[in-house]
């Protein structure tokens, strides 16, 4: 098979040649075999207890919302996580990813801490499947849970593979490169790893892939039909609804589209952002009665007033109640004071009315106490987030160490998936391929630059977080917060392969692929485990 015809990076000319046409069936077979393997894997999904097809507190949190919403029309999940008769947790449904606040009935209820849009959509799919089969998650969790996962995870993932391989055929001018990229897309990323569990990273990545496809059609192929602008807007906004830092990609894609057609960007792309935004905030309001998502409620709320304590450090219920009444806030006789999880904060809880207030007490010898609305939804009796958290959840105090392990260490993007080294090289490949034409019209250069800039923004966002959030995404087999960038990194990897590496370089790249596939397949039974590299270091007693 000859490979003497070369197509420049970003060329709109489709790959041609008899061998390319013959390649279509082997690539489809690759997808079918991968889908069959992942389906077999999905059919073996079960919790450690063997009771449910849920693998972690993270996905149980979403499953709770799905069941409650589809069967009760409510986002409250108290009945799922607690056994009312036994007055104890239901261990198979209970999750640490919880928040608690007053519901519409004026009583305290538990809710999933996850954004509401995705589980609301999945609840609709579950409701349809339940109506067709007569099965429910409570009665028949394994067939129903696995059916939902197949529809919401595996089928969209197979479509992603198909789009990737089709694009590689169009944009790569070398059989080896096409097969290599196909192997990475299907087996070498953590998107396949997380296909057997509910998560927000997979749908976000698939949305980014769809937006990149549209961007490529518009900017590279110069197919500027309005449909692509609309679809790009819907896709980028859906990605941001699932991954907050993906707002950077919404802006980056919009900026490139403005250069192609300001009119269609403003009249098609921008309006297409609104439906997802409305659905995101609308479902959140239906669930929580406020517009801001649950993860935004992690501290005291608005300040109401100050009062002078009689004695520092010895507040009494009567003293606080009296101060409240002076500001027309009346409480019952069943109020208590208890320490809050935030430093120098005390909760004033009216057990009868189920109202809460936060008291900020001074950390010196002062006596002024500030009274705030209660807005720490993560602070409730038994909350996992109120005590000392174990392992990675405790957060990494050394920021430099944290950055190292995120990039090159036990959770490293490049150490676990070294194939992404080609994506780094792809940035230079795009720059190398830049012509002397107006840079604002060199769209391969602009897309490559947008991907690089988006990646840096996302990394900076997570690297600059406080101690509580420097936890590598919790117990996870990879740095899951960056998974949605995978389609963008594949685009850059393809650009680097247009440099036509020699024989020795190809052997090295194949080795990078093998390590990447190993990392993605190692957590075959449960992706909610520590990365294999971290497990290796711990086994040998090496510092992590």
In a domain, 150, yes or no: no
Residue 251 CA to residue 450 CA, distance in Å, equals 9
> Please, where are the H alpha helices in 107-200?
117-133, 141-149, 155-171, 175-187, 190-193
In a domain, 306, yes or no: yes
**Residue numbers of the chain with a pLDDT score lower than 70:** 1-20, 85-87, 312-313, 364-366, 434-439
In a domain, 317, yes or no: yes
Tell me the residue range of the domain where 303 lies.
299-373
Return the residue matching tokens 């809460």. 356
Contact between 315 and 359 (Cβ < 8 Å)? yes
Q: Comparing C-alpha atoms, which of 34, 9, 4 is closest to residue 19? A: 4
Residue 449 CA to residue 219 CA, distance in Å, equals 14
pLDDT in tens, 388-422: 888 899 999 999 999 999 999 999 999 999 999 99
Displacement of CA 166 from its chain's centroid (Å) = 26
**pLDDT score of 8:** 38
**pLDDT score of 13:** 41
Residue 34 CA to residue 42 CA, distance in Å, equals 12
Displacement of CA 189 from its chain's centroid (Å) = 15
- What is the separation, in whole angstroms, between the first and last Cα of the chain? 48
**pLDDT score of 12:** 38
Q: Report how many domains make up the chain.
A: 1
**pLDDT score of 375:** 96
Opening angle at CA 480, ends 185 and 115, nearest 5 = 115
Q: Residue 29: helix, strand or coil by DSSP? A: helix
In a domain, 492, yes or no: no
In a domain, 213, yes or no: no
Q: Residue 271: helix, strand or coil by DSSP? A: helix
Contact between 286 and 115 (Cβ < 8 Å)? no
Displacement of CA 1 from its chain's centroid (Å) = 42
**pLDDT score of 91:** 82
In a domain, 335, yes or no: yes
pTM: 0.92
Residue 412 CA to residue 190 CA, distance in Å, equals 13
In a domain, 327, yes or no: yes
pLDDT in tens, 372-393: 999 999 999 989 998 888 889 9
In a domain, 312, yes or no: yes
**pLDDT score of 11:** 39
């Amino acid at each position: 098979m000859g490979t003497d015809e070369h197509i420049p990076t970003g060329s709109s000319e489709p790959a041609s040649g008899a061998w390319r046409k013959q390649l279509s069936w082997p690539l489809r077979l690759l997808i079918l075999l991968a889908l069959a393997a992942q389906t077999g894997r999905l059919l073996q999904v079960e919790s450690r207890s063997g009771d449910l097809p849920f693998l972690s507190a993270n996905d149980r949190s979403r499953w709770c919302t799905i069941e409650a919403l589809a069967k009760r029309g409510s986002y409250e999940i108290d009945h799922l996580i607690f056994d009312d008769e036994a007055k104890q947790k239901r261990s198979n449904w209970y999750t640490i990813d919880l928040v608690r606040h007053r519901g519409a009935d004026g009583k305290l209820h538990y809710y999933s801490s996850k954004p509401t849009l995705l589980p609301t959509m999945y609840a609709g799919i579950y409701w349809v499947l339940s109506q067709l089969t007569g099965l429910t998650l409570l009665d028949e969790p394994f067939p129903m849970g696995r059916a939902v996962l197949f529809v919401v995870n595996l089928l969209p993932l197979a479509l992603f593979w198909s789009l990737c391989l089709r694009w590689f055929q169009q944009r790569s001018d070398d059989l080896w490169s096409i097969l290599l990229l196909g192997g990475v897309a299907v087996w070498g990323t953590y998107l396949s790893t997380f296909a057997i569990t509910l998560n927000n990273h997979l749908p976000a990545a698939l949305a980014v892939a769809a937006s990149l496809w549209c961007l490529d059609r518009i900017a590279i192929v110069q197919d500027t039909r309005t449909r692509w602008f609309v679809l790009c807007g819907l896709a980028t906004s859906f990605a941001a609804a699932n991954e907050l830092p993906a707002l950077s990609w919404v802006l980056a894609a919009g900026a490139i589209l403005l250069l192609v057609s300001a009119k269609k960007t403003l009249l098609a792309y921008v309006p297409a952002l609104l439906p997802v935004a409305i659905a995101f905030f609308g479902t959140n309001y239906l669930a929580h009665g406020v517009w801001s998502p649950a993860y935004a409620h992690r501290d005291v709320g608005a300040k109401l007033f100050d009062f002078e304590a009689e004695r520092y450090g010895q507040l009494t219920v009567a003293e606080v109640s009296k101060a409240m009444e002076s500001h027309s806030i009346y409480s019952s006789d069943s109020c208590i004071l208890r320490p809050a999880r935030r430093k120098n904060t005390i909760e004033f809880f009216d057990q009868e009315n189920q109202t809460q207030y936060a008291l900020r007490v001074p950390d010196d010898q002062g006596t002024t106490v500030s009274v705030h609305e209660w807005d720490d939804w993560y602070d409730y009796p038994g909350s996992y987030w109120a005590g000392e958290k174990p392992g990675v959840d405790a957060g990494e105090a050394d920021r430099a160490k944290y950055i190292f392990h995120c990039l090159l260490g036990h959770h490293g993007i490049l150490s676990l998936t070294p194939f992404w080294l080609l994506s780094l090289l792809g940035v230079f490949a795009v720059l190398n391929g830049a012509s002397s034409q107006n840079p604002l019209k060199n769209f391969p250069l602009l897309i490559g630059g947008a991907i690089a800039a988006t990646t840096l923004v996302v990394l900076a966002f997570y690297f600059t977080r406080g101690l509580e959030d420097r936890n590598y995404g919790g117990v996870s087999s990879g740095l899951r917060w960056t998974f949605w960038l995978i389609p963008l990194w594949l685009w850059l990897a393809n650009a680097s392969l247009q440099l036509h590496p020699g024989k020795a370089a190809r052997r090295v790249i194949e080795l990078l692929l093998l390590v990447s596939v190993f990392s993605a397949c190692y957590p075959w039974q449960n992706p909610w485990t520590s990365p294999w590299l971290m497990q290796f270091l711990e086994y040998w007693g090496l510092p992590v």
